[in-house]
């Protein structure tokens, strides 16, 4: 075992002249309308059932399933790290090892199974990158945006990981410390896995300030970047009308008029692909990223898209690859959602129809169906402006949504 570990350490100094690695993903945050990033419920989008989750009671992957047992749907965080995927390009088969950290956040989903992890680290160990193979990849019958990321020329990867489950034949008792000072003993069964995929996939939630914040009025957006970020895009959609304005972020605060709603969806997609190509992604990768998030990026609302600088990406998501690739492209798009005056007015109108004796769970579901991911931030924004008994009613809804009554919020 010692000699094996020494070999791994030594291999980190080697380079692979024919290996190229590309990554793309998104950091999504919400501004409360006053220019302040707000914590929000990082609810999981639908993912295929074969994807691993760091959620107690749904522990298919590894011991961090147990160590970070809070459900992502109950986590409140400033940033949702959405769907980073890592591609590998090589003309010949080769073995690669990779691990990625998230020191200011928590890993919540991944595929294929990793070899080991903590809540802040995923380690896929050593896996096979093989461009000569064309394996059958897992796919469910129902559509899912997870699959769009496969529409590239990257070599498939064969990962041998570990799957952990509670109880079962041959299980061994293990003591686990939870994040809030609780502990427990569980009988854990370990099984090795062997899974093919076109990429390494992971997600998470983080508690760090976004690189851009903004304030929105009925006519203007006041944008405040924390540093120079280069080209960005200001997007707005109302009904079937869309608008897009190029936004140079030079590190200084600036006011810009809300976009004229005269663009077409094709214009927006073309501009986003162009922004991604500037970062070094291949065209098929850029198209796959836009296709993955087409039903989310370009929906109703106002948002700013910007490129996270490479140095900041490396700081927030430290990546270790062995052997070192000849080229590494890391494209993380910052996505800042702005609570609009129109959204606040719509939520206020809905809240004014509530009665104290209404079923809170049914009320929450009704509000979520209309306001989606903005339900909690909108309620928290208007709650202090309400009179009783509505103020208490809305406070109860917020407590149920955020898990504050159960002490399971991330904050």
For residue 59, the model assigns a pLDDT of 36
pLDDT band at 254 (very low <50, low <70, confident <90, very high): very high
| Average pLDDT value for the chain | 86
- The mean-pLDDT minimum among 257-261, 280-284, 362-366, 405-409 falls in 405-409
pLDDT tens per residue, range 143-166 = 999 999 999 999 999 999 988 777
Q: What is the DSSP string of 38-54?
A: E-EE-PPPP--TTSEE-
pLDDT tens per residue, range 164-215 = 777 778 888 876 655 455 567 778 788 899 999 999 999 999 989 999 999 9
Q: What is the DSSP string of 196-233?
A: EESSEEEEEEE-S--SEEEEE-SSEEEEEESSEEEEEE
List residues bridging with 98 in a β-sheet. Answer: 321
Residue 205 backbone class (left: φ over 0; alpha: ψ -120 to 50; beta: rest): beta
Task: Tell me, yes or no, if the pTM score tops 0.75.
Answer: yes
Helix axes 375-382, 360-371, angle to 10 degrees: 110
For residue 168, the model assigns a pLDDT of 77
Q: Which CB contacts under 8 angstroms, 24+ apart, belong to 245-251?
A: 246/271, 247/223, 247/304, 247/306, 249/212, 249/223, 249/225, 249/306, 250/225, 251/225, 251/226, 251/227
The torsion of the CA quartet 356, 360, 365, 366, rounded to 10 degrees, works out to -10
Note whether 104 and 65 are within 8 A (CB).
no
For residue 3, the model assigns a pLDDT of 40
| Whether residue 261 has pLDDT greater than 70 | yes
Kindly state the average pLDDT of the residues 350-355: 93
Question: Two tokens at 185?
Answer: 């003993």
| Whether residue 365 has pLDDT greater than 50 | yes
| Whether residue 324 has pLDDT greater than 60 | yes
pLDDT above 70 covers a percentage of the chain that reads 86
Q: How far apart are the first and last CA of the chain?
A: 40
Burial class (CB in 10 A: 0-12, 13-18, 19+), 329: middle
| Whether residue 13 has pLDDT greater than 90 | no
Helix axes 360-371, 390-402, angle to 10 degrees: 80
Note whether 343 and 36 are within 8 A (CB).
no
pLDDT band at 39 (very low <50, low <70, confident <90, very high): confident
**Measured at the alpha carbon of residue 294, what is the angle toward residues 289 and 298, in degrees to the nearest 5?**
125
Kindly state the average pLDDT of the residues 254-272: 95
pLDDT band at 131 (very low <50, low <70, confident <90, very high): very high
Nearest to 18, CA basis, from 86, 85, 88, 87:
88
pLDDT tens per residue, range 217-232 = 989 999 999 999 999 9
Residues with Cβ < 8 Å from 36, sequence gap 6 or more? Answer: 213
Kindly state the average pLDDT of the residues 74-98: 92
Note whether 307 and 329 are within 8 A (CB).
no
Cα 388 to Cα 379: distance, rounded to the nearest angstrom = 15
Exposure string of 115-149, with b = 16+ CB inside 10 Å and e = fewer, is bebbbbbbbbbebbbbbeeeeeebeeeeeebbbbb
> Where do the structural domains in the chain lie, given as residue ranges?
40-77+85-206, 352-406
Cα 392 to Cα 58: distance, rounded to the nearest angstrom = 34
**Measured at the alpha carbon of residue 348, what is the angle toward residues 353 and 400, in degrees to the nearest 5?**
80
Q: What are phi and psi of 12, to 5 degrees?
A: -70, -15
| Whether residue 265 has pLDDT greater than 70 | yes
CA 121 to chain centre: 15
The H-assigned helical ranges of 237-340 are 265-277, 283-292, 294-297, 310-316
């Amino acid at each position: 075992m010692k000699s094996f570990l020494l070999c791994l350490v030594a291999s980190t100094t080697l380079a692979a002249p024919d290996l190229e690695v590309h990554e793309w993903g998104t950091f999504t945050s919400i501004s409360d309308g006053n220019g302040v990033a707000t914590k929000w419920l990082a609810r999981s989008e639908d993912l295929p059932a074969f994807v691993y989750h760091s959620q107690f009671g749904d522990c298919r992957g590894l011991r961090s399933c147990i160590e970070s047992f809070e459900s992502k749907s109950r986590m409140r965080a400033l940033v949702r790290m959405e769907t980073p995927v890592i591609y590998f390009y090589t003309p010949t088969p080769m073995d690669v090892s990779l691990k990625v950290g998230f020191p200011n956040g928590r890993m919540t989903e991944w595929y294929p199974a990793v070899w080991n992890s903590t809540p802040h680290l995923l380690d896929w160990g050593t896996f096979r990158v093989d461009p000569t193979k064309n394996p059958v990849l897992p796919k469910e019958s129902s559509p899912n945006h997870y699959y769009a990321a496969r529409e590239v020329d990257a070599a498939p990867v064969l990962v041998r990981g570990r799957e952990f489950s509670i109880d079962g034949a041959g299980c061994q008792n293990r003591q686990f410390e939870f994040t809030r000072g609780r502990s427990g003993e569980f009988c854990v069964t370990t099984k090795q896995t062997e899974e093919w995929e076109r990429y390494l996939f992971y997600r998470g939630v983080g508690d760090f300030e976004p690189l851009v914040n903004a304030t929105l009025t009925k006519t203007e957006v006041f944008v405040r970047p924390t540093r120079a970020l280069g080209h960005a895009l200001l997007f707005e959609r109302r009904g079937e009308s869309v608008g897009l304005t190029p936004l140079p972020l030079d590190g200084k605060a600036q006011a810009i008029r809300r976009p004229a709603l005269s663009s077409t969806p094709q214009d927006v997609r073309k501009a986003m692909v162009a922004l991604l190509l500037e970062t070094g992604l291949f065209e098929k990768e850029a198209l796959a990223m836009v296709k993955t998030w087409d039903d989310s990026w370009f929906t109703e609302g106002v948002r700013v898209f910007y490129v996270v600088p490479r140095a900041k990406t490396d700081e927030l998501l430290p990546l270790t690859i062995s052997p070192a690739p000849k080229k590494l492209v890391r494209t993380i798009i910052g996505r800042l959602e702005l609570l609009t005056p129109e959204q606040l007015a719509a939520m206020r109108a809905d809240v004014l129809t509530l009665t104290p004796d209404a079923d809170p769970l049914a009320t929450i579901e009704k509000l979520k169906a209309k306001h989606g991911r903005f339900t909690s931030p909108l309620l928290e924004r208007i709650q202090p402006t309400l009179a009783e008994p509505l103020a208490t009613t809305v406070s109860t809804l917020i407590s149920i949504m955020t898990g504050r009554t159960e002490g399971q919020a991330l904050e």
